[in-house]
Amino acid sequence: MQLQDILYSQGFGTRRICAGLIQQGLVLVDGQPVLDAAANFDTAALRFAVQGVDWVFHEKAYLMLHKPAGTECSQKPSTYPSIYTLLPSPLRLRPSKGAVQGVQAIGRLDQDTTGLLLLTDDGQFIHRMASPKHHVPKVYEVTTKHEVDDSQIARLLAGVVLDDDPKPVRAAACERSGANSLRLTLTEGKYHQVKRMLAAVGNRVEALHRSEIGQVVLPSDLSPGQWCWLSATQVEGLRSKQPRSAEEAA
């Protein structure tokens, strides 16, 4: 692939801007400046630097973000800063066939919810992960206002009715992790689901943190506001998650 097209595909600007960066000697491959925008490179494991920023070529971007509190999962936030401001410009400007450029969050977390958020520019991957047919488990660490008792856990596991849906919603797993905390696993996503489920059993969410999605666990050394690439193994694990049978999903 031509170097100009490589930079464009990674979100470093229009093809004209990318050509200009190359011609000005601002793009290094293997530590050496390349001045020919049409120079061809094998993109497999290609590493390069643009204006001093090291980059690894990714045909599609798959990453995780440790979402901090006080941020919105929106390109056009209403009150709080957008999570997208936490990402480097190339990830926000990667070209797309759709109306919106750059990586997109797979699902959303409320502004006061922290933890694991996946982002990608792969539309098919977003659709697969968001589809209720696949029941991708998501684990939440919940801090509650009142002490958690056995009856509340039993009701969460058996299923509770939310005000907008007559069909009971139940936790795939639920265990007490402290007097006022529990670890809750869900396989579907509804608006404010965790908060509404806890309210339905007579409790209240004081703090909410998502620690896992499928086989992906938020690393302990990834601080709030930081991001990292997903490994090929993690992506394949999420992609190969098979839909559960109707009996299992019932």
DSSP, collapsed to helix, strand or coil, labels residue 8 as helix
Name the residue with higher pLDDT: 35 or 165.
35
pLDDT of residue 99: 65
Does the active-site annotation cover 110? yes
Quote the percentage of the chain above a pLDDT of 90: 81
pLDDT of residue 243: 44
C-alpha R_g of the chain: 21
Write down the catalytic residue from 110, 112, 164, 221.
Answer: 110
Predicted TM-score of the model (pTM): 0.90
pLDDT of residue 135: 82
Q: Which residue reads 């620690």 in tokens?
A: 211
Which residue segments constitute the domains of the chain, with CATH numbers given?
Answer: 3-56 (3.10.290.10), 62-133+216-249 (3.30.70.580), 138-213 (3.30.70.1560)
Which sign does the torsion angle of CA 160, 69, 108, 186 carry? negative
* Residue 135 host element (H or E): none
pLDDT tens column, 203-218: 999 999 999 999 999 9
pLDDT tens column, 5-21: 999 999 999 999 999 99
pLDDT value at 238 more than 70: yes
pLDDT of residue 144: 97
pLDDT tens column, 173-230: 999 999 999 999 999 888 889 999 999 999 999 999 999 999 999 999 999 999 999 9
Q: What is the mean pLDDT of the chain?
A: 92
53-62, 130-139, 197-206: least confident range: 130-139
Say which residues have a Cβ less than 8 Å from residue 204's Cβ, sequence separation at least 6. Answer: 144, 145, 146, 195, 198
pLDDT value at 33 more than 50: yes
CB 134 within 8 A of CB 211: no
Calpha distance 196→215 (Å, rounded):
26
pLDDT value at 132 more than 90: no
pLDDT value at 166 more than 90: no
